[in-house]
Chain A
């Protein structure tokens, strides 16, 4: 059974089509990443699924129930939508007790979920004294209150320090392994890559991809990054590779040769035979970020990413894709 299914789901705000004819099937169990550039319609989709806004057209079901009857699945779904939202002057414990009471849950459940997210000793503190990371954990605790079958988390690692990110990632993986389904929206592709089994990619409100992460990564392009010792040799080297049938793209500091890692020796020999010494010869595979950008284009806030990439820097740590990626973390 699909925990989330949409058929032609569409939402318009005036002339703006935020979600456009979205057809989606998310199977039960595991952690599903929900990614897309800023303004791609992720939050709008989530809000429609939770009954906060009404679709302009189309249908959707959550846990097999139509989203036009959200009361029928509300007790089986937990959600963190955008930023954490609590009464600032009230203690964290009272905020959670209030939400527990609304769901007909005992006050003890509020203490349980505080322990789960590592805030057990800070329940009496007013939320206004919490750091952003603590508020984020509190919001996850609130989402966990009904012990949900489906957990929808919008940017759950926002504001967390690196240790907190790892902690939340571990928590998400544990929750996912318990048979729940987690739909995690994030702009941190490294988080999606590290925590998710499946990925849904949307752009301009349209579905670009939905499937297993491995299936998406099969779209990754393998190439070898080559840089001559002397920069002035770069155009000649690129031309040399092209003349031998390689697909070579000259970048400001290196050449990206579309070739498997095993071709490195041949590329090196070719350069040496033509009197060019190589300073860099690194096999590379596209990261999720590369695949994502190729699929979605560069939109809105992602221009910053493009700029940083042009400077030879990366914004994200993508530790699974070879040591060079880690070296370039900005």
Chain B
């Protein structure tokens, strides 16, 4: 298995994915913190409803409050990254070489997933560190107290990083599943973003309870440690179901697919 992971990491560690994946995650981590701090206390409908209050920012986990707000953005990056990594094997024809070298296709897929997990963990780490750095820079300028931030800093950071990583990886699994079905990164990314940004938003208007169980809402809850609509436990349970179903579909298709490309 390590051979497959190493092989995959060599291919993932290329400038376009480093900049477009890890770089973009780090940037979105910092940007979401900036927006959270600037928009703190704003109330109303739309995105403003999710802004933390100034008191929340001054709490011991205030330095990572922006990450929950930006988790969907990071998730979309992960979805795209995983979809590109999978679909490009089919689009370039690399899949022929890979399956010929390692015919145990489930092992090949599992190795790819593990490599993408490593890649995503690096990305979310970069995002968390930049978000925290941005928080420390912005707090004094916006008169937000940071005295509580020194209370169990490492634990708070690890917890936020863990939640964000879990959420981002489930996004990735969704991207991987879509790409396995469609063999196209573009179609997978469009379908993923279209579902979360358009469909789930429309669904909120007509069936709120159902919409709260959809991937976008559930993964936001997972990254935030639970929301008023979806508890953390429910979010973890749903994430596990989505992950198992996604990997199951991807595994079945990968195992059975005729490689005629």
Interface residues of A (CB under 8 A from B): 47, 50-54, 70-71, 74, 77, 79, 81-83, 85-90, 94-95, 97-99, 101-104, 142, 146
Contacts and interface: CB of A to CB of B under 8 A. Distances in A.
A70 B92 CA distance: 22
A85 B96 contact: yes
Contact of B100 (A74, A82, A87): A74
Interface stretch (B10-18, B26-34, B135-143, B245-253): B10-18
B233 interface: no
B102 A47 contact: no
A71 B103 contact: yes
Given A85-B97, A98-B11, A101-B7, 9 more contacts: A51-B100, A53-B258, A74-B103, A83-B93, A86-B92, A87-B14, A97-B10, A98-B8, A146-B101
A142 B97 contact: yes
Contact of A85 (B11, B14, B94, B103): B94
Interface in B1-25: 3-4, 6-8, 10-11, 14-16
Interface string B129-167: 000000000000000000000000000000000000000
B109 to A, nearest CB: 13
Contact of A52 (B7, B100, B102): B100
6 contacts: A47-B259, A52-B259, A74-B102, A74-B103, A94-B10, A101-B7
A284 B58 CA distance: 95
Contacts of B4: 102
Contacts of B102: 71, 74, 102-103
B92 to A, nearest CB: 5
A86 B3 contact: no
A222 to B, nearest CB: 43
B135 to A, nearest CB: 34
A20 to B, nearest CB: 17
Contacts of B259: 47, 52-53
Contacts, number: 82
Contacts of B104: 71
B101 A74 contact: yes
A83 B92 CA distance: 10
Contacts of B10: 94, 97-98, 101
Contacts of B260: 47, 52-53
B88 interface: yes
B92 A82 contact: no
A52 B101 contact: no
A175 B11 CA distance: 29
Most interface-central of A70, A81, A98, A102 (chain B CB within 10 A): A102
Contacts of A50: 99-100
Contact of B97 (A53, A77, A99, A101): A99
A88 B96 CA distance: 15
Contacts of B95: 85
Contacts of B8: 98
A81 B94 CA distance: 10
Given A53-B260, A54-B258, A89 B101 contact: no
Shortest 3 CB-CB contacts between residues of A and residues of B: A85-B93, A70-B103, A102-B7
Contacts of A99: 7, 97-98, 101
A10 to B, nearest CB: 14
